[in-house]
Amino acid sequence: MKQILLILTLTIFVLAPGYAQINRKKKMTFNTKSSLLFKSGYSEVNGLRMYYEIYGQGEPLVLIHGGGSTIQTNFDKIIPLLAKSRMLIAVELQAHGRTNDRNADLTFEQDADDVATLLKNLSIAKADFFGFSNGGTTTLQIAIRHPELVGKMILGSALARRSGVPDWFWGFMDNATLENMPEELKIGYKKVAADISGLQTMHDRDAKRMVNFKDITDEQIKFIKVPTLIIIGDKDVITPEHAIELHRKISNSQLAIIPGGHGEYIGEVTTIKPDFKESQLVVPMIEKFLDEKPDKK
């Protein structure tokens, strides 16, 4: 339980103008032994030099990572699979990975506005969204603040209310330290960041945001009308009751409770086990949800 909590501490915290800034093509080798060509670049976003990667072709799906994470530490296992049928736009938010810090506290509202600005820079008028952990909370704020951008959304282990995790979680957050950050996330950050001294800043901003976390109101949640898929693990720190509550309040939503821990269903880096198999991932469920056509009445 302690290890699960330590992970959650950091992961739940935690042409067009934009295309003109795509600066290179890369070939990335994944732990799954797959490889993909992708475009990467930086875009000027509300005082940030925001990093993003674009994979595949088709309808856009935006991937938003959790606290303490990078594109790769959260989505490394599912990107090669989803990119077969979609254009994936994966981002790194303020102070995370290759994106700089703007010398201001993190907020989910600001993260949502940053993603919206990035998409405007990339001339993306509408997209589907998949946010994991803190990225799920950011995705909720995108649906609330920028509903015109959202086609469908997937909320992976997202937190909307303080009651969505056990009470002792908040006491733990008050005493969060960099030393307790999962080693896999530290390695992931250091692998890509231009200045690894920013690791402490990222940790502290993520921790402070969670200590000061405020509930998203019922009115805001009920405002969301887009088709929504809510996913958590049955051993997640996000409680099943919270996921059910979100499902009941978002009128056009589906709920999936998957065996496993926080992010295990997408192969998040801290959950990988020696016997990992791609068949354990929820990619087919995600693809089915994204491909579903609205009922005609």
For residue 176 the two structure tokens come to 């969060």
Q: How do 127-132 and 87-92 pair as beta strands? A: unpaired
Please report the pLDDT score of residue 247 as a whole number. Answer: 98
What SS3 class is residue 295? coil
> Which tops the pLDDT comparison, 90 or 296?
90
pTM passes above 0.75: yes
pLDDT beyond 90 at 166: yes
> Which tops the pLDDT comparison, 33 or 287?
287
What's the full length of the chain, in residues?
A: 297
Q: Is residue 36 part of a domain?
A: no
pLDDT beyond 60 at 159: yes
Residues 6+ apart with CB under 8 A from 103: none
**Domains held by the chain: number:** 1
State how far the alpha carbon of 201 is from the alpha carbons of 121, 148, 153, 181, 268, in Å. 27, 33, 29, 13, 22
Please report the pLDDT score of residue 35 as a whole number. Answer: 66
Q: How far is residue 104's CA from residue 193's CA, in Å, rounded to a whole number?
A: 19
Largest CA distance in the chain: 56
Q: Is residue 27 part of a domain?
A: no
Long-range CB pairs of 33-38 (<8 Å, 24+ gap) are 34/80, 35/80, 36/79, 36/80, 36/83
For residue 152 the two structure tokens come to 């469908």
Q: Is residue 20 part of a domain?
A: no
Q: Is residue 29 part of a domain?
A: no
Which residues partner with 250 through β-bridges? none
Q: Is residue 39 part of a domain?
A: no
Q: How far is residue 92's CA from residue 109's CA, in Å, rounded to a whole number?
A: 15
Which residues partner with 25 through β-bridges? 39
Burial tier of 273 (Cβ tally within 10 Å: 0-12, 13-18, 19+): exposed
> Which tops the pLDDT comparison, 96 or 34?
96
Domain that holds residue 238: 2-13+51-291
Which has the closest alpha carbon to 257: 156, 159, 152, 167?
156
For residue 8 the two structure tokens come to 């959650």
pLDDT beyond 60 at 297: no
**Number of neighbours of residue 158 by Cβ within 10 angstroms:** 29
Q: Lowest mean pLDDT of 30-39, 124-133, 229-238, name the range.
A: 30-39
> Which tops the pLDDT comparison, 19 or 35?
35
Find tokens 């469908």 and name the residue.
152
**pLDDT tens, 39-49?**
999 999 999 99
Please report the pLDDT score of residue 296 as a whole number. Answer: 58
Q: Is residue 255 part of a domain?
A: yes
Please report the pLDDT score of residue 172 as a whole number. Answer: 84
CATH assignment at residue 189: 3.40.50.1820
**pLDDT tens, 51-75?**
999 999 999 999 999 999 999 999 9
Q: Is residue 46 part of a domain?
A: no
Find tokens 């405002």 and name the residue.
223
Q: How far is residue 140's CA from residue 62's CA, in Å, rounded to a whole number?
A: 13
Residue 29: pLDDT band by 50, 70, 90 thresholds? very low
Tell me the residue type at 108: F
Which H helix or E strand runs over 139? helix 134-145
Alpha helices, DSSP H, located in 149-182: 168-174
For residue 156 the two structure tokens come to 């992976």
Please report the pLDDT score of residue 14 as a whole number. Answer: 41
Q: Is residue 145 part of a domain?
A: yes
**pLDDT tens, 220-258?**
999 999 999 999 999 999 999 999 999 999 999 999 999
pLDDT beyond 90 at 189: yes
Please report the pLDDT score of residue 158 as a whole number. Answer: 98
